[in-house]
Amino acid sequence: MQASPRPDYPFTAIRGMPRMQTALLLAAIDPLIGGVLIEGPRGSAKTTSARALAQLLPEGAFVNLPLGCGEEQLLGSLDLEDVLQHGRTRFRPGLLARAHEGVLYVDEVNLLADGLVDLLLDVSVSGVNRVERDGISHAHEARFVLVGTMNPEEGTLRPQLLDRFGLFVRLGETIPPQMREEIVRARLAFEADPEGFVGHHDPAQQALRERILRARAALEALAFTDAVHARVSRMCHEAGVEGVRADLVMLRAARAHAALEGQDRIREEDMDAVQDLVLAHRRKASTDTDPAGMESGSAGTGDEHGSGHAPPPPQGGGAPENGPKDAPGDRSGDDAGDWGALPPEAAPLHTLSRVGELTPKKP
Q: Is residue 323 part of a domain?
A: no
The pLDDT of residue 86: 64
Domain span at residue 84? 10-220+289-308
Q: Is residue 129 part of a domain?
A: yes
245 catalytic per annotation: yes
Per-residue pLDDT tens digits of the chain, which is 363 residues long: 455 678 999 999 998 889 999 999 999 999 999 999 999 887 778 889 999 999 999 888 999 999 889 888 999 988 766 666 666 677 888 999 999 999 999 999 989 888 898 888 889 888 899 988 767 788 889 999 999 999 888 888 888 788 889 999 998 767 788 988 998 899 999 999 999 999 999 999 999 999 999 999 999 999 999 999 999 999 999 999 989 999 999 999 999 999 999 999 999 999 999 999 999 999 875 334 343 445 533 233 333 333 333 333 333 333 333 333 333 333 333 443 334 333 333 333 333 333 333 433 444
The pLDDT of residue 314: 33
Q: Is residue 230 part of a domain?
A: no
- How many C-beta atoms surround the C-beta of residue 207 within 10 A? 15
Q: Is residue 240 part of a domain?
A: no
Radius of gyration of the chain (CA): 20
The pLDDT of residue 102: 92
The pLDDT of residue 331: 35
Q: Among the options 98, 143, 245, 331, which is catalytic?
A: 245
Q: Is residue 317 part of a domain?
A: no
Q: Is residue 253 part of a domain?
A: no
Q: Is residue 353 part of a domain?
A: no
CA–CA dist 302, 19 (Å, integer): 8
CATH number for 53: 3.40.50.300
Contact yes or no for 57/8 (Cβ under 8 A) = no
pLDDT, tens digit (0-9, with 9 covering 90-100), for 251-269: 999 999 999 999 999 999 9
Look at the chain and report how many structural domains it folds into: 1
The pLDDT of residue 175: 78
The pLDDT of residue 4: 66
Q: Is residue 320 part of a domain?
A: no
